[in-house]
Structure 1
Amino acid sequence: MTTPSINRIGKSTVPRTAISTSDEHSITIRGEDLCRDLIGHISFTDYFSFLVTGRKPTRAESMVLDATLVAIADHGMVPSVQASRMTYAAAPDALQGAVAAGILGCGSVILGASETAGRLFTEVDEAAKDVDLAAAASAVVGRWREAGRPVPGYGHSLHKQRDPRVDALFDVARKAGTSLRFVEIAEAVEAVIPAIVGKELKLNVSAAIPAVLLGTNFPLRALRGVPILARTAGLIAHLAEEAVNPSGFALSYQATRDLVYEGEPPKGPAE
């Protein structure tokens, strides 16, 4: 299911925003004075939520969002980190370029799967208005597979059982007292996968993030921004380390060390 764009060429000629404005003496964010009301009075997690949604989160909502940001900020020398470190090694004067290199790979496989999983869960939630949750999960997952689409947020190359971050995030949501409706949906999807896919695929963090955030009414359209924001923090940490303990060229060497050339050999000299 895709969300149609509200943008239409020629339909809007005046740029509009409800997020911020400024004048010579003040900066206004979502109707509040940045310097008087926000700086020193709000955490960055709450500020991020406020920027995205236009309202300050409750304590429970803040706990869940903060937990997701912590959970996804770093996971070792994953592809986004390798891309970032190798870019920095080639251009240490452009930190921003190295960060961007790591974030540009946010897609259906890495980091971007949270948004896609969220769309799957909302589709199951809608289908469950007519049938029980297990039947709804089976029907939706079946449709996705028939369309050749993977089930986003399930299976992990390292964590063959449940990604340990999943239960940690679910525990935070339970303790915070936020809605567990989408946690139930995530687990219902996990339960029907073996019969449809033919193998067990356990929940990973990319499914856990929307499962807990949708229970706080965090907007579906902004879900991909959560891992992007979190991973940006992790990349900056890796690049600060790269500056004093380089690995970028070593990573490049590792990639080419066992490289096998399968192209045509060079032609011999003309006779």
Structure 2
Amino acid sequence: MKIGRETIPTTAISTSNADTIVVRGKDLSGELIGRISFTDYFLLLLDGQPPSDTRRRVLDATLVAIAEHGLVPSVQASRMTYAAAPEALQGAVAAGLLGCGSVILGASQAAGELFAEIAEEIDGGKSLEGAVHDVISARRARREAIPGYGHPLHKERDPRVEALFGVAQEAGAEMRYVGIATAVERALPEVVGKELKLNVSAAIPAVLLGAGFPLKALRGVPLLARTAGLIAHLLEESEQPSGFALSYQATRQVEYTGKVPLGFTQEGGSS
């Protein structure tokens, strides 16, 4: 059964023969290995364009900003998986990545789409403030969250926000989306009814879009960065295990609220 028009699979990313591996038109062994950083290579893989200093610096900054964030749920899942199956590093990394969604690491993509929607309204003739107000109000009317704002710990702006904005400006990135992100922050108290400050999940798309990074690939940046963090946690797990301790602590805090058979007594004497 054919879905869509294409019947022959195609790719412009890589090919090879017995002597040469070609990646985006370049000889992997002769032109790339030892001559290009991984950040530049990632950018080249994405769209085949020669990486600019601006794109490199901004992407590097975002990868550093989001690679590590402590024992968040995705990291705990990864470490507990490794504790149960230490022979499967790839499974433990995958367990951590599978826990990355709309709450953890996925908000950057959603925030980028929000900023792109506002930019489209501005291109259609609206003012910055008018476009922000209309888009945010429409989302609130649909009971949709505003991604990239508010943080359980950083009640003022997430400290990574100013750092990323500073790198973007120094690197010569377009600051249009930074302006949009900041305008959304200003509008939230009136539209939402509470003051929600920018967090790193909004700063990442604001600077990356300004550096010409593809909108559809935004979700990949936190995933790529967090993969590095997960590998570090799993190395530590192999040397200083805490996966089972995390599981034990979670079990200790569980309070059973369901029914029990007559005469059943919970451990510790409660019933």
**TM surpasses 0.5:** yes
* Alignment partner, residue 193 of structure 2: 198
Residues 1:135 and 2:135 are matched in the alignment: no
Unmatched 5+ stretches in structure 2: 265-271
Deviation, 1:147, is: 1.1
Relative to the length of structure 2, the TM-score reads 0.94
Equivalent residue for 1:169, pick from 164, 178, 181: 164
1:67 partner letter: A
Q: How many residues align?
A: 262
CA distance in 1, matches of 2:177, 2:249: 41
Alpha-carbon contact 1:156-1:204 (below 8 Å) kept: yes
Cα distance, 1:268 vs structure 2: 5.6
- Aligned-pair identity (%): 65
Equivalent in the alignment of 1:65: 59
Aligned amino acid, residue 256 of structure 1: T
Partner residue in 2 for 1:4: none
1:116 is the counterpart of 2:110:
yes
Q: 2:30 aligns with which of 25, 28, 36?
A: 36
Equivalent-residue separation in structure 1 for 2:81 and 2:152 (angstroms): 25
1:94 to 85, 88, 97: 88
Q: Is the partner of 1:85 in helix, strand or coil?
A: helix
1:232 is matched with which residue?
227
Q: Comparing 258-267 with 73-82, which one deviates more in the overlay?
A: 258-267
Aligned 8 A contact 1:118 1:220 in 2: yes
Which whole-Å deviations, capped at 9, do the CAs of 1:127-153 have from their partners, x for residues lacking one?
113221011111101111111110001
How far off is 1:11 after superposition? 2.3
Q: Following superposition, which runs of at least 4 residues in structure 1 exceed 4 angstroms of deviation? A: none
8 A contact 1:53–1:218 mirrored in 2: no
Output the CA distance in 2 between the equivalents of 1:113 and 1:247. Answer: 28
State how far apart, in whole Å, the 2-side matches of 1:183 and 1:141 are.
Answer: 16
Q: TM (normalized to structure 1)?
A: 0.94
Per the TM alignment, residue 177 of structure 1 is displaced from its structure 2 partner at its CA by 1.0
> Are 1:157 and 2:152 counterparts?
yes
CA contact (8 A) 1:186 1:207 kept: yes
Report the AA paired with residue 186 of structure 1. A
Q: Distance in 1 between matches of 2:249 and 2:210?
A: 43
What is the CA deviation profile of residues 201-248 of structure 1, one whole-angstrom value per residue up to 9, with x for unaligned ones? 111111000000000111000000000000000000000000000110
SS in 1 for 2:22: strand
RMSD: 1.2
Q: Distance in 2 between matches of 1:45 and 1:257?
A: 43
State the one-letter code of the partner of 2:101.
Answer: G
Shift of 1:10: 4.8
Aligned equivalents of 2:129, 2:179: Cα separation in 1: 10
Q: Is 1:50 the equivalent of 2:44?
A: yes
State the distance in 2 between where 1:95 and 1:55 align.
33
Partner of 1:3: none
User: Partner letter of residue 249 of structure 1?
Assistant: F
Within the candidate set 76, 84, 90, 2:70 is matched to 76
Q: Structure 2: which amino acid aligns with 1:150?
A: A
Instruction: Please identify, of 123-132 and 204-213, the stretch whose mean Cα deviation from structure 2 is larger.
Output: 123-132
1:241 and 2:241 are equivalent in the alignment: no
Distance in 2 (CA, whole Å) between partners of 1:243 and 1:266 is 41
Shift of 1:40: 0.7
Distance 1:184 1:251, change over 3 A: same
